Amino acid sequence: MPHWSVYTGSSEPHDGIAELPVPPPWRAFDGGPALPPPGERDDAAAISPDRVHRARTYVATPESVQLVNAALCLRRPLLVTGPPGTGKSSLAYAVARELRLGPVLRWNITSRSTLADGLYQYDPLSRLYAARPGPEGDGQPRGGVEDHLRLGPLGTALLPYDRPRALLVDEIDKSDLDLPNDLLNVLEEGQYEIPELVRAARHSADGTAQVLADGTESPVTVDHGRVRCRAFPFVVLTSNGEREFPPAFLRRCVRLKLRRPERGQLTEIVRAHLGDPDDRAVSLIEDFLRRSSSGELATDQLLNAIYLTGVAGLEAGSPEELAEQLMPYLSAAADGDGV
């Protein structure tokens, strides 16, 4: 019987996702026809170098490994909360790289984001212009609905891939109050409809349309305007904890709360990014831990300080002064700028 723990946190790519147990009966999906993973199976060539570095150097905790595997096995979204700089977004890239899930589909949430933005974008104005008679005046419209429609990151993640895609829904706590509730049905059912294509299918010979997906220029087939997943995507929803979510939304997620890394994990993070810490780096780690007990700091502030004093050779006064200059508190009150 396949073991349910396929993600190890080792950052070494492998095909363990093929050993994922069958889904629970209430989370089984049958979309088709099956699509192969897009492009290179290792996403190193498909994402920017900084994200490749973050994926390779991510230091997973035992709790995060366990809950990632729970989300994969249960086919449920993973809601990751925690202070800024604790690696919430990097987790999605690390899992996608290790399990060879392909390029991460990223949906950055703002207060204006809607469910439709994540599913697909349709430009009716461009279609209107395309429907004008041709340059020779033949009176024939050019292009169908599908030529002016592109799937968004969520819509692409729910295509019937034979392996899960990785979807990062970043900072969902910044969304409008309705978005988490709007996501419920789509994530629960693993499917959605594109009304423009449903209407167009009534006048099509076979009811299919070739549509561009997010992150690729290769079209995919949508049958009668309906998209249903085959392998439920690995969905990471990140939140800085700035708001509460509805109980109906929370019960459909596996929840992971990331905390500030302690001394041992900080040392491992520094080692992964910059090599073995020297005396100056150790001193800055201690200052980071001391200062973080009085206010909010992010791990990348520590990495910046160690890099500047090591690789970049920045000279300054005492380590305490350097820490204060390069690692200011993220909250105005703790930094002495409150009113």
**What count of Cα atoms within 13 Å lies in the side-chain half-sphere of residue 79?**
19
235 and 276 fall within a common domain: no
Q: Which of 257, 282, 316 is the last residue of a domain?
A: 257
The percentage of the chain sitting over the pLDDT mark of 70, rounded to a whole number, equals 84
What pLDDT is attached to residue 148?
A: 79
Q: Which of 219, 241, 257 is the last residue of a domain?
A: 257
For 70-99, write each residue's pLDDT tens digit.
999 999 999 999 988 889 999 999 999 999
What pLDDT is attached to residue 222?
A: 93
Higher pLDDT, 4 or 66: 66
What is the C-alpha end-to-end distance of the chain, expressed in Å? 61
232 and 303 fall within a common domain: no
> pLDDT averaged over the chain?
85
40 and 170 fall within a common domain: yes
177 and 310 fall within a common domain: no
Domain range holding 304?
Answer: 263-326
- pTM of the prediction? 0.87
Please count the residues of the chain.
339
37 and 97 fall within a common domain: yes
317 and 224 fall within a common domain: no
Q: Which of 257, 278, 301 is the last residue of a domain?
A: 257
Higher pLDDT, 212 or 334: 212
Contact (Cβ atoms closer than 8 angstroms) between residue 95 and residue 7: yes
Higher pLDDT, 19 or 319: 19
CATH code for position 228: 3.40.50.300
214 and 301 fall within a common domain: no
What pLDDT is attached to residue 338?
A: 45
For 27-65, write each residue's pLDDT tens digit.
999 998 899 877 644 344 455 677 788 888 899 999 999
For 269-281, write each residue's pLDDT tens digit.
999 999 999 888 8
Instruction: Give residues with Cβ within 8 angstroms of 301, minimum separation 6.
Output: 85, 288, 326, 327, 328
Q: How many domains is the chain built from? A: 2
